[in-house]
Structure formats: C-alpha cells, structure tokens
Amino acid sequence: MNLLLLPRRRGLGPVLAVLASLTLLAAAAPTASAVGGAVPATPTGLPTTIEGLSPYVPPTGCDLRARTGSVKLAKLIQATYANTYGLSRSCTSATTPSSEHFDGRAVDTFFNVRNATERAEANAVLSWLLSTDKAGNQYANARRLGVMYIIWNNKMWSSYRSGEGWRPYSTCATTPSAAYDTACHRNHIHISLSWEGANGRTSFWTKAVAPVDWGPCRPADLNWSSGNAAPNPRPCPRYATVKAPTGASALLKELVPRSGMVLRPGMAGPAVSSLQKAVGVSPVTGTFASVTTSRLKTWQTRHGVAASGIADASTWRALLAANGMHH
C-alpha cells in the first residue's frame, strides 16, 4: 500500500511517551468504551458547541505533507492500542486525485478482523468515534476530529450520509477471502478527515469549533490543484476533467491527466518520468534528482517560466502548450 508505517506493538515506555506528547488531552490514560475495552482519551473542557457533520470535500492534489491533525489522531489511537498506522501514499502513479492519502487527510490504523483482540479494539475505536456524548451530540468525537468517512470490514460510514449508517463497501461482502482483506479494509480502519480535521484545527485539539475548510481548488485548465494553502471558506467550482485533444502525441496524453500535480525533488514515479521526457532528461529514470532539477530550470527559463526547479501550475501550462495543448 506504500504507506508510512510504524511498529505494530511496542513496550509500555514508548506508549506512555506518546501519551505524554498529546498535551491537549487532559486524561493520562485511555477510558472505557460502551462496547467494552479501552478507548482513546477524550479531552476535558471541550466547548458546549460542536462542529457539524463534515461535508464531502474530495481530494484535488498530490501534497504529501504530514498534517498535524492526521498525525495526532494516528498517534492517539496508537497510544491506546500500540498498533501501527499509515498516512500518506505516493500519488505519482495516479492519473486522478482519487484518495485523501494523496493530500495528507487519511489515516490507516491497523487492526485485523481475523484477530479477536484486534477486532474488539477496532470496534471500541469506532464506538468511541460515533457514540453520542453526554450533551446529546451524535457522533461527537467524529465531529470534533473532523472525520469525513470511515471504512472497516466491508462497510463504510460517512458523515455526509450519516442517516444511512454503515452501508456496504464496494463488493466486499461477496469476497470473503483473505486475499481481499486490504482492499476491503479488514486489516485496517481507514479514516478520511476534513481539511480542518487533518490540519488539527478542530475543537478536539483546540477547544474552539472550526469552520468548514473546503480545501484547495483545482483550476479549470489543469487536473490537479497545487495543494493546501490558506483555509478556504467556500466550496470549489466543479470542472470537467481536462482531456488531451484528438490527435494528441503520446507524450501529451501522458502529461494531461497529471497536469497541475506539483512535482519536486525527491519524488519518483510515472509522473516524474513524463516530466523528464517533456524537458529532455535522458535517460528517463522516474526519479526527481539533481539532473532533473537542473534540466527543468533550464527548460523553465527558455519557456518564460520562473526557474524554480519545481513543476508547478505555471510550468504545467507551459508544458501542455509546448506539446500542442491550446485553450
């Protein structure tokens, strides 16, 4: 799955160290859940007001920064159960921004449904997230953390379709074999967060209710956004997918689906290979190293683009135009 993983089980010392680092949590140890067993600690002193259920805010970019809220949630669960977690996933093989893992808004926290202890722990986490609090707020911790949707054990819960409860995920009910455990989320809980949740601005962490952040918007002429910047208070426009024109070259057909994806030194994959072909790097390695940086800066200068050595939106527009894409 190409995820950043941490060790599955740890000794008590590292677990307590993680707990100590979560300074916003008043409790020093996990509490009991309604379904039995320990659950993550919930802060005291939370405001009487609470975030609404998160709307669906789709991913738009390839922006793999570790985000404060995503990391804190992953570590909070790890501190309770000493399990592993994964955050960002490489997006340079993708041709559409199809996962919150691509922009740092997803947490995979690992429990295996085929292990009775881990299955019970997973159920405790879900109960803790979705239970009604003492003030009568439904899905209280999920709302205060900015949870957008959850996938676990063949089923999916969404904040924006909460009235439907847990609904079937894909065709997983008909594929019970262990070979499908990852795709059907039987060996991990997937949690996708809102932008305010992923960036750690929600009341669970700050004790102040966060407004909805609609995230970065992609431009009409490119297929990917440039990634998260300042909070966005308004929904993004919906644009049709940009497609290569009839008769486009093979290279243009490679470039268009990934247009707008911010590529920088240290990245690797098919998107980098396409960039290397476009700016004349030889041999094409698929790895964004010093040779690619130097060649890209030269190409940018020749095409009237700031020589940043990063494939940003202005560079992508120039790349498309140089290969026959006109708007």
pLDDT tens digit sequence for 295-307? 999 999 999 999 9
pTM for the whole structure? 0.88
**Strand pairing class (106-109; 147-152):** unpaired
The domain spans of the chain are 12-206, 250-322
pLDDT of residue 37: 78
pLDDT tens digit sequence for 71-115: 999 999 999 999 999 998 899 999 999 999 999 999 999 999 999
pLDDT tens digit sequence for 6-33: 434 434 333 333 333 333 333 334 555 5
> How much is the mean pLDDT over the chain?
91
pLDDT class of 64 with cuts at 50, 70, 90:
confident
pLDDT class of 326 with cuts at 50, 70, 90:
confident
Greater pLDDT, 166 or 20: 166
- What Cα–Cα distance (Å) separates residue 199 from each residue in 105, 187, 196, 216? 8, 26, 5, 13
Amino acid, single-letter form, for residue 123: N
Greater pLDDT, 35 or 197: 197
pLDDT of residue 36: 55
pLDDT class of 126 with cuts at 50, 70, 90:
very high
Amino acid, single-letter form, for residue 310: I
Q: Token pair for residue 318?
A: 């120039």
Assign domain 250-322 one CATH number from 3.40.50.1100, 3.40.50.720, 1.10.101.10, 2.30.42.10: 1.10.101.10
Radius of gyration of the chain, Cα coordinates, nearest whole angstrom: 22
Q: Determine the Cα–Cα distance for residues 82 and 167; give it in Å rounded to an integer.
A: 29
Q: Give the CA-trace dihedral at 193, 197, 198, 201, to 10 degrees.
A: 170
Q: Token pair for residue 253?
A: 């057909």
Q: What one-character DSSP code corresponds to residue 16?
A: H
**Helix (H), strand (E) at residue 107:** strand 106-109
Q: Which alpha helices (DSSP H) does the chain contain, by range?
A: 12-21, 68-81, 116-130, 140-145, 195-198, 203-206, 250-255, 270-279, 290-302, 313-322
